[in-house]
Structure 1
Amino acid sequence: MKNNTEKLSPFRKLLFRALDGIEWIGNKLPSPLLLFAILAFTVIVISGIFSGVSVTNPTTSEVVEVKNLFSLNGLDYIFNSAVENFIAFPPLGAVLVTMLGIGLAEQTGLIHSSLKSIVFGVPNRLLTAALVFAGVMSSLAVNAGYVVLPPLGAVLFLGLGRHPLAGLAAAFAGVSGGFGANLALTSTDAILQELTADAARTIDPAYADTITVTMNYFFAAASVLLITVIGTLVTDKIVEPRLGKYEGEEEENLEKLTVREKRGMRLAGLGFLVTFAIMVYLSLGPLRGDGAYIDSPFFNALVFVIFVLFFVPGLIYGIVSKEIQNDKDLTTLLGKTMASMSGYIALAFTAGQFIAYFRETNLGTVIAFNGAEFLKNTGFTGTGLILTFMGITMLVNFFIGSSSAKWTILAPVFVPIMMNLDYSPEFTTLLYRISDSVTNMVTPLLLYFPVIIAFAQRYDKKIGIGTLISMMIPYSVAFLLGWLVLLLVWVLLGIPVGPGAPISY
């Protein structure tokens, strides 16, 4: 990593050296594709060593046992599930479908023209904050922010003559931190509320019935400003200075919009508004469904919605700019987009095997329950209990990437423990959300981590896991410290974490 340390303070020089060391160690690891293959093989071996080790779910009394893949039955599973593991790799379809829309907008020049419009119309000093804020709010669209914002952030920074990886990192940090902060309610709130209420019901059924989807809203809304400010400062003061000047082949000088580009932008913008209006109608009408909005057919199809919202304006702009004159031109541009994703597709194969093996062996579940049992046996109370619980959650996040999957395992254990120590279920859930969010961006087991690496490699083909983790660690640490300070203020003032959701039980 090239960086200019001549004008830096002693603290930042020391910090940069430490991050350089982390990057060096991390990049000594094999390529991400090979690393996931090695990890998949390692899981197979470990499952054989710990075969038969089991834990008991204290709520359901279900026994979960490590399944041995280092056996004839395991070999049968490995061979017969390989294709399915690849196809079922959660981000694969979402990334490819979304990138078809974004790619067309990029190939036709719409994103390039939009970028120029932003560069010449928005103050540079506001762009980092706007990008982080957009990342935080993107959790409204579940995981779509991981696919859309990091590549756009990189392009935006590049157009401003800034380092594209800094833009990618800022967006990634905002999206990851956004799962613990938002100005609106999201599907995550609904999922966690259900799991928390079920866990609390084992101690106090009457109280469990009062737990609502808004249980963490006050704290989550206040956290939006916190994450936006911290994310902006870390990007501008640490991450981008450490990256230094970008000298890649993608760098270019932006000129003002031409008459044709302006006309294409106007018509593409009109196409976007019409498409957006149709989507709003569908979301409130034919695709509204009978249940909660966040469980509606429309909400469950957000990946396709995002594809359409990019595809239609991109198609219109391509026709106006003469980049698309017939169906063959359209096919060629879409093919170029998919060709640019070939490295990610190959990576998804080995990553999909690893994720599937880890889930099939139950190793993550056993680790999580043992961590919960450890907390129960510590005898900690107060600050020690809170910090230990958060530490265990952050550790578990390195083994189980899904937020809802982790809470499905941890809530039945931690919520009753914390209630017996006078902490409300809502407060326990808040601690979980903070711990989960701050470690999402530094765990290779996050399902979208390979996606971010693939986007980053468009600007630096040699980038490895070490480079990405070293970029994201400052955000992770800063978010954690900032949230701990805000949490302390919240506890000292006794502010409810949400409507009718006190800290104490």
Structure 2
Amino acid sequence: MNSTAMPPKQGRILGWIERTGNKLPDPVFLFLYLIGAIIALSVVAAMLGWSAVHPTEVDPDTGAKTVIAATSLLSPENIQKLWVEMPTTFTHFHPLGYVLVVMLGAGVAERTGLFGTAMRAGVANAPTFLLTPIVALVAMLGNLAADAAYVVLIPLAGVIYAAAGRHPIAGIAAAFAAVSGGFSANLFPGQLDALLFGITQASANTVFPSWQANIAGNWYFIIGMTVIFLPVIWYVTDRVIEPRLGAYDKAAGTMHEAGDETVEGPLKPDERRGLRHAGLALLAVTGLWLFMTFGPGTPLIDEAAAPEAQMTPFYRSLVAAFFILFVLAGWAYGRAVGNIKNHRDLVKMMADSMGDMAYFLVLAFVVSHFVAMFSWSNLGLVSAVHGAEALRTLDLPYPILLAIVVLFTAAMNLFVGSASAKWALLAPVLVPMLMLLGVSAEMTTAAYRVGDSATNIITPLMVYFPLILVFCQRWVKDFGIGSLTAMMIPYSLWMLAAGILLVVGWVAADLPLGPSAPVFIDPASLK
């Protein structure tokens, strides 16, 4: 096979994207610069008297709506708050607890090999004509395993396609499109939901302090993404990409090394036993949560609350449920295959998983202060109120408004790859602004997820892009960055179009996004 040639115009565009993106600072310093910018802006806004009338708060003495004024971050009160409350600002940052708790468990499941083995088992015996949809489905579910989906399933897909007599690059493309382009699609909430909804809550609380995040708030929507992305990836792979690749020419490529046991070979008896034990752990945790929800005392149901809020404790317990599930399933698998010999091995794996979160902790420290200082200055509230009024004046239909959010996010994703960094930047304005218009925080988060996923697979700034290129070059020596980008563009365009249609249709039909998570809200009810 010959390397796919890039048209000159595409090459110039991709080169500009790569050069521009590479000039951006690390996200940590990006947010430090943004903190400097909002400090300067808050001083100017306070001097100019920027203000807005709060749409829901009422002064108890006068009965008039509260006027919110921009506050300088260099005022004595805010300077004191910055230094005195710095530990609290960091430790009370909502995504921090959510992500660290889930990752404590997920680190065990990943390090024992459970995630990798489960993905191998999911695609190993797939029929040839169903190979693409099975690979795509397992890859989207593999997002629960974070990095493991990239380093295990994508090269494995190339091996399986080659063994089935199909082009291995097509398998890599399908798996990459599903893992990265379908980054938010899944059948279950997971680490990403904990991360995004933590930022959503911090942003919503700047205007509506009583609003609480629900980790299952996009559950139905991400199932919808899975259902709609699956046939898209199947069609693009089998009807667009693979015919263009043609038959694989072994002489022109580099055969995959047969001794690479990380992605090849049938499951060993101890791995099969480990999967059975992990399955029993899954059933046990599921049974425990069902018992606590419907059994005597119903500790996960607030029977004293209004009917629509009675399940709130259950939804908020899902972070703990994932932690327990990953720990027990990982431990059960690890004991069966011999990776965990005693409790010290388990503790070490949990400790090592926290080591992997070191960069996230640094980023979270800076982002937490950015979000907090944005709130202290009242710039977020003032801009959200005026932005909501401007959008209300435009009188755009809600589906069109949210489609614009998707497109804007997709474009921004070409330059800022981190899902959390990007959402921390956008959420403080988008979430409260759209809530003031009657669009739920869950719906805004869902629209963001669609845009954040679709263009992952076409930007060289995506952290795994070079790794995917190496996987391709194992099979085709001269496969270049332009070849990979050109191959993934059809997936990106089709998935973006399908995602926008999903958002527009979901809003138009006013379907629930998850349990107790509507598309629309009454802002006055969130005082």
Query: TM-score, with normalisation over the residues of structure 2?
Result: 0.62
- SS of the residue 2:185 aligns to: helix
* Structural RMSD (CA): 5.3
Match of residue 76 from structure 1:
80
Contact 1:86–1:349 (CA<8 Å) still a contact in 2? yes
Contact 1:153–1:171 (CA<8 Å) still a contact in 2? no
Q: Distance in 2 between matches of 1:401 and 1:219?
A: 23
Match of residue 329 from structure 1:
345
Superposed CA deviations along residues 199-220 of structure 1, whole A, max 9, x for unmatched, are xxxxxxxxxxxxxxxxx99999
Give the C-alpha shift of residue 57 in structure 1: 3.1
Q: Distance in 2 between matches of 1:49 and 1:259?
A: 68
1:153 is the counterpart of 2:152: no
Q: Distance in 2 between matches of 1:442 and 1:85?
A: 33
- SS of the residue 1:288 aligns to: coil
Tell me which amino acid in the other structure corresponds to 1:169.
Answer: S
Percent of aligned pairs sharing the same letter: 27
1:287 is the counterpart of 2:293: no
Match of residue 41 from structure 2:
46
Match of residue 99 from structure 1:
103
1:265 is the counterpart of 2:275: yes
Give the C-alpha shift of residue 401 in structure 1: 6.7
Q: Distance in 2 between matches of 1:128 and 1:264?
A: 22
Match of residue 130 from structure 1:
137
Give the C-alpha shift of residue 319 in structure 1: 1.9
Superposed CA deviations along residues 60-119 of structure 1, whole A, max 9, x for unmatched, are 433222221123322212212221222122222222211121111122222232233123
Deviates more, 1:296-305 or 1:480-489: 480-489
Q: Distance in 1 between matches of 2:487 and 2:34?
A: 23
1:7 is the counterpart of 2:19: no
Give the C-alpha shift of residue 304 in structure 1: 0.9
- SS of the residue 1:63 aligns to: strand
Superposed CA deviations along residues 287-312 of structure 1, whole A, max 9, x for unmatched, are 33114477332221111100111111
Q: Which of 369, 374, 381 does residue 385 from structure 2 map onto? A: 369
Give the C-alpha shift of residue 276 in structure 1: 2.0
Q: Distance in 2 between matches of 1:393 and 1:367?
A: 20
Alignment of 1:42-441 (within 5 A): 42-51=37-46, 52-60=49-57, 61-122=65-126, 124-127=131-134, 129-130=136-137, 134=141, 148=144, 150-154=146-150, 155-161=152-158, 162=172, 168-174=179-185, 225-230=227-232, 252-285=262-295, 286-289=298-301, 290=303, 291=305, 292=308, 295-378=311-394, 387=400, 391=404, 406=430, 409-412=433-436, 414=437, 435-440=447-452
Tell me which amino acid in the other structure corresponds to 2:38.
Answer: V
Q: Distance in 2 between matches of 1:305 and 1:325?
A: 24
Structure 1 residues 350 and 272 mapped into 2: Cα distance closer, same or farther (>3 Å)? same
Structure 1 residues 457 and 349 mapped into 2: Cα distance closer, same or farther (>3 Å)? farther
Match of residue 463 from structure 1:
none
Structure 2 residue runs of 5 or longer lacking an equivalent are 58-64, 159-171, 191-196, 202-207, 209-217, 245-253, 413-421, 469-485, 513-517, 521-527
Tell me which amino acid in the other structure corresponds to 1:301.
Answer: S
Structure 1 residue runs of 5 or longer lacking an equivalent are 136-144, 180-186, 192-197, 199-215, 416-424, 445-452, 461-469
Structure 1 residues 6 and 392 mapped into 2: Cα distance closer, same or farther (>3 Å)? closer
Contact 1:226–1:482 (CA<8 Å) still a contact in 2? yes
Contact 1:230–1:479 (CA<8 Å) still a contact in 2? yes
- SS of the residue 2:85 aligns to: helix
Structure 1 residues 150 and 235 mapped into 2: Cα distance closer, same or farther (>3 Å)? farther
Structure 1 residues 220 and 336 mapped into 2: Cα distance closer, same or farther (>3 Å)? closer
Contact 1:442–1:472 (CA<8 Å) still a contact in 2? no
Give the C-alpha shift of residue 173 in structure 1: 4.2
Q: Distance in 2 between matches of 1:311 and 1:220?
A: 24
Structure 1 residues 334 and 488 mapped into 2: Cα distance closer, same or farther (>3 Å)? closer
Tell me which amino acid in the other structure corresponds to 1:31.
Answer: D
Give the C-alpha shift of residue 381 in structure 1: 7.2
Q: Distance in 2 between matches of 1:314 and 1:455?
A: 27
Q: Distance in 1 between matches of 2:499 and 2:315?
A: 30
Query: TM-score, with normalisation over the residues of structure 1?
Result: 0.64
Q: Distance in 2 between matches of 1:59 and 1:151?
A: 43
Structure 1 residues 435 and 454 mapped into 2: Cα distance closer, same or farther (>3 Å)? closer
Superposed CA deviations along residues 384-425 of structure 1, whole A, max 9, x for unmatched, are x9746864797799787787985654344x45xxxxxxxxx9
Q: Distance in 2 between matches of 1:14 and 1:476?
A: 18
Structure 1 residues 65 and 170 mapped into 2: Cα distance closer, same or farther (>3 Å)? same
Tell me which amino acid in the other structure corresponds to 1:279.
Answer: W
Match of residue 193 from structure 2:
none
Contact 1:36–1:351 (CA<8 Å) still a contact in 2? yes
- SS of the residue 2:383 aligns to: helix
Q: Distance in 1 between matches of 2:53 and 2:361?
A: 38
Structure 1 residues 438 and 117 mapped into 2: Cα distance closer, same or farther (>3 Å)? closer
Deviates more, 1:269-278 or 1:119-128: 119-128
Match of residue 23 from structure 2:
28
Structure 1 residues 293 and 454 mapped into 2: Cα distance closer, same or farther (>3 Å)? farther
Structure 1 residues 439 and 472 mapped into 2: Cα distance closer, same or farther (>3 Å)? farther
Match of residue 467 from structure 1:
none
Give the C-alpha shift of residue 125 in structure 1: 0.7
Contact 1:344–1:454 (CA<8 Å) still a contact in 2? no
- SS of the residue 1:57 aligns to: strand
Contact 1:174–1:231 (CA<8 Å) still a contact in 2? no
Q: Distance in 2 between matches of 1:269 and 1:217?
A: 22
Structure 1 residues 24 and 251 mapped into 2: Cα distance closer, same or farther (>3 Å)? farther
Superposed CA deviations along residues 13-44 of structure 1, whole A, max 9, x for unmatched, are 75565344324312211112222222222222
